[in-house]
Amino acid sequence: MKALAAVGDNVSDIYPSLGRAFPGGNALNVAVAARKAGMDAAYLGAIGTDEAGRAIKAALDSEGVRTERLRIVEGPNAYSVVELDGGDRRFVGYGLGVSRFVLDARDLEYLEQFDCVHSGARSGTEEQMEDMASAARLSFDFSDRPSEYWEPLLDKVWMACFSGTGLDTDGVHELTRQVLRAGPEVLLITEGSRGASISTAYGETVHADAEPVTPLDTLGAGDAVIGTVLAGVLRGDDLGVVMSSAMSVAAQVCAHHGAFGQGRPFC
């Protein structure tokens, strides 16, 4: 079985309008999605000693994600405050809590057992991307950050992930050209309601349309696509099948609140 370790952010996503909180964060969500897609998955991050941190740990255990290198740090867990606007999520507040950490030598040795390490722009791991890439192939979610952010980092990345929701077709093509000439072997661009596309340095490109759905909550859909695609690419599955599966998973995520459920009451 192929194995993936996700390194970085986790949050308690708080929905005041629902009075509930859900586990989330790009790195954590990708680990859960990869596990659901059949991978051996681990999460390496820092959780707090409050109720939110305990809920994060319980959710990881429930989803079968490994936590051997999970840090439990005295203090509050990271959180974000989420509002829904017609099914689309908006982040209106956040707190980093105890989430920031630095990988040590034992962490990096641990990561060497995995086929891939995933992290992202919300994790604060940029300074250690080279270390992670030395341990295993590195997937990194650049989200919708500007080129000034991602251009100096691309040469460390095996699979680059971007949110292209705000780009038109020409913009997606230009981003693809710029990224693949800079070093990554694989590029994944999620495009919201338009679907997603995957391109490789070997000239393959596959676009998959999003499945028709009236979203209840789009939170975590892009992360679920990343985790599902990573699982399929690492197994060597047909890219068309991989992308079709990822679109089905994204539609399922949009049908419930939170990135993967596991909600709890929050007052």
Give residue for tokens 């399922």: 252
Percent of the chain at pLDDT exceeding 90: 95
Is the pLDDT score of 87 beyond 90? no
**9 sits in which H/E element:** none
pTM for the whole structure: 0.97
* Alpha-carbon dihedral sign for residues 21, 26, 31, 37: positive
Per-residue confidence (pLDDT) for residue 84, from 0 to 100: 86
Strand partners, 137: 116
Angstrom distances, CA of residue 83 to CA of 23, 68, 251, 266: 15, 33, 20, 14
84 vs 184, which has greater pLDDT? 184
Q: Report residue 86's pLDDT band, with 50, 70 and 90 as the boundaries.
A: confident
Which residues lie below 8 Å from residue 198, measured CB to CB, with a gap of 6+? 186, 187, 188, 189, 204, 205, 206, 229, 233, 239, 242, 243
What per-residue confidence (pLDDT) applies to 89? 84
Name residues whose C-beta falls within 8 Å of residue 171's C-beta, 6 or more positions apart in sequence.
Answer: 164
- Which residues are bridge partners to 80 per DSSP? 13, 94
Residue type, 111: L
**What is the pLDDT at residue 167?**
95
Q: What is the pLDDT of residue 267?
A: 67
Mind listing the pLDDT tens digit for each residue in 21-68?
A: 999 999 999 999 999 999 999 999 999 999 999 999 999 999 999 999
Domains of the chain with bracketed CATH: 3-265 (3.40.1190.20)
Residue 130: per-residue pLDDT: 98
**For 124-139, what is the mean pLDDT?**
98
